[in-house]
Structure 1
Amino acid sequence: MKELSELSDHQLLKSCRNGNDKAFDLLFQRYFKPLYSLSLKYVRDPEVAEELAMDLMLWVWEKRQLDFCPDGNLKAYLFRAIRNSVISFFRKKTLATQPLEDYHEETMPDSRHADHNQIYTEIEACFQEKLNELSPQRRKVYEMSREEELTYPQIAHQLNLSANTVKSHMSYSLNHLRKSLHEYLDVTSVIALFCWFIK
């Protein structure tokens, strides 16, 4: 029988569902530090970054009985989730630091925040639409780089491509996405975080 440390993420999640807290400890060891590092890169505050990463891992434990990662790719799921946590943090921060007179007396968030939400939704829809315009291989390379945090050599190895081909695919995809989302990028400091997708 395999040692816990040799189990895949999917197997560890299954073990968590059976109440094995040691399996969760291993998942925590695998992903807390990478999630913390990624969130710190954007929020620039160690305490906030730690809180976001900790909250996400706590959520995994609380939801362990649910099949929240049906494709089995926990790493990609967690990196998407921490990205969304950072976006949510900046949205709340911007709302909280607006002058009091910007808010209606009884209704919050105000229309300005509603505008932000609408823009956020439009950008997300536009991004997904433009991502879907990429060829299957280019989209796969992009997702492995941005969502799974793999290096070009790692992607090349997994897809049996040359590193130059991977680099070419990423260059095309990033250029395509930048051009498509350019009109949105300077709308607000919160929405600018969508640059995360295309940096």
Structure 2
Amino acid sequence: MRPGTSAKAGSITVPDDPVGARERILGAAIRYFQQYGYEGTSVSRIAAAAGMTPANIYWHFPSKHDLLAEALHSLYSVAFEGLAAAAQNGTAEERLVNYARAYVRMQLTELDANCNFGYASLASSLSSEKQRELLRAGRPYLDLLREILEQGRTEQVFQIKEPTVTAFAISTMCEYIFTWYRADGPLTEDEVGDQYAELVLRMVRG
């Protein structure tokens, strides 16, 4: 088959660039899911934004439910690479500050001006099994944060009783920044990142 052509599968036009098509679908899906929620987003709207038909969507994803799960998995995977790189080296305090700043930057970079539904609220639309899969996918975030917190206890600069509880508190605080931040507000992204880093340090220093 020549480049630029496509194959037919019944009434479905199968694109010759399945990777590119899949990325367009995921990009459109997460944008509309964040704006309108799972129930308020139709497959036809996602298909139109991705430049294809609803039938093409179902060739890549068995259902809208599966599309939501894959979109959330994709967000987790891509974002973690940058987060891990930012907090890779240094003292516990340095790594924690970098973690918080990177997490905030990650959230604000992905934040759409019309974002009304966060990651957790979208995940609640999934089945219990899919939610458990997402929890496993998000475990590296908490594992990295727990590692930093344990390092801080070893260095005797963090006064925390339970790293897991503290890790969840920090992660949740950073994740829900979309509920209040506005790009046209008084604070820049860097200023918000600095303030969150300061708050996190206050939390762990006791």
How does the TM-score come out when normalised to structure 1? 0.30
TM-score (norm 2): 0.29
Larger RCO (alpha carbons 8 Å, 6+ apart): 2
Answer 1 or 2: which has greater helix percent.
Answer: 1
